[in-house]
Structure formats: structure tokens, C-alpha cells
Amino acid sequence: MTKPIAFLAVLLCLTFAGSTLWVPDFGGFDADQFPIPQMDPPVQPAGYAFAVWGIIYLWLLLGMGFGLWKRREDPTWHAMRAPLCVSLAVGSIWLPVAVVSPVWAAILIWAMLIPALIALFRAPRDDRGWALGPVGLYAGWLSAASCVALGLVAAGYGYLGDETAAFVFIFMALLIASAVQNQLRRAPSYGIAVIWALVAIVVQNMTTYPTVAALAGGGALALILPVWKAWRAGNATQT
């Protein structure tokens, strides 16, 4: 069963990245997709941060391609691939859903996150650059993006004010990221992706919502230590 899953992982990486061809101009939810239009919402990172998707798509494809070539029947890779395939399958339809329904998109991004985290915890310690690295970056960005999606829905449907939603869901992202990185004790790429998102939230809010920027900035600083420990632990296993 390991061979078909290895092929499927590569195929789903291609469909996941290829979904951008169906929705080539997606730059986040449109403000008017919500009953309360979300113009420059404080919970959302600055636009440049979404360029990380290009790295995620490419690194996942290269990693799973390496796995197909060199680790096709490796049981440690198989344990990671199965939940990763579930996440990538959901991710392959996420963009077409997102342009229609932010609510369903928020639900689906959590359906992507949970199996991605399972895959991360199952990822083999060897071949860090091909397994832990790309899966960590992917799961880390999803950890931030899933909370951002909830914040946008909460503010856009009037459940919380813009600033309150930003506080609540940025704090949620920090709790998830801290718990995962401290428990995982490896895969610094996970925390780096979250820090990247938090810094972009700082950039988004420095002049408009300084308290939100302070929360995001403080969270980014707090994650540096567990990320550094994960990096040190990974180097120690290779020496």
C-alpha cells in the first residue's frame, strides 16, 4: 500500500499547487463577501506574507517527489503521507470554495490543518529537508491562516468587533503554535511560518491598531526560543 500512497502524495501536491490556475487572482477574501465588509481587517497579515505559498507548493512537491524516488516503501514516510494526502486533497478544492463562501473556506482550512499537524508529528526525523521541513512550513502557515479565517468570519458576521476578533484569534494562533512547537521539539520551519505571519500582522497594524501589532510582535518574539531549540535539537540528531 505504500507505493500508491507515495504516488498519490505527489499527485495531490500537483493538484494543490495547480488549484491556483483555477483561481489565479485570489488575494484573500473580498471585503464584500461578508455582511460587514472587511476592509484591511487587523487580524489579516499584510499582503506580501501570502507569497510564502509559492515556497510551500514547491517545497512540498520536491519533498514528496524525493520520497517517491528514494523512500517509496519507507514505513516512516508512509505514516506521514496518509494524513498529508487528506490535507492536500482538501487544499486542492480550497481556492474555488473560498471565492464563493468564506464560512466554508474557514471550515475547510481547519480540515486541512488537523491532518497536516498529524502528518507533521509523524514525519520522519531523517530527511529533514524533504519531510519535516516542507510539512512543517505548510502546517505552520495553516496554523496561522486557520485562526485568521475564524477572525475574519467572526468580525465579518458581527460576532466580534474587528479589533476584538484580532486579539482573540491571534492569541489562539499563538497558543496553538506554542503548544505544537514545544511538544514537537523539532521542525523549526513550523514556528518560522507562524512568525512570518505574525510579523506581517505587525506590518499590517503598526499605524492603525498598535495594540494588535504589539500582541503579534510579542508572540513572534516568544516563538523564537522554541524555534531555536527545535533547530538545535535537529542539528544534534545529525551529529
Closest CA to 58 of 134, 136, 143: 134
Cell reading at 49:
506574507
The model's pTM is 0.95
pLDDT tens track for 175-202: 999 999 999 999 999 999 999 999 999 9
In DSSP notation, 61-86 reads HHHHHHHHHH-TT-HHHHHHHHHHHH
Tell me: pLDDT of 239 over 50: no
CA gap 194, 173 in Å, rounded: 8
- Ordered by start, the domain boundaries in the chain are 2-17+43-237
Cβ neighbours around 223 below 10 Å, total: 23
Based on DSSP, count helices (H) and strands (E) in the chain, helices before strands: 9, 0
CA gap 72, 139 in Å, rounded: 22
Q: What is the mean pLDDT of residues 10-26?
A: 90
pLDDT tens track for 96-142: 999 999 999 999 999 999 999 999 999 998 888 999 999 999 999 99
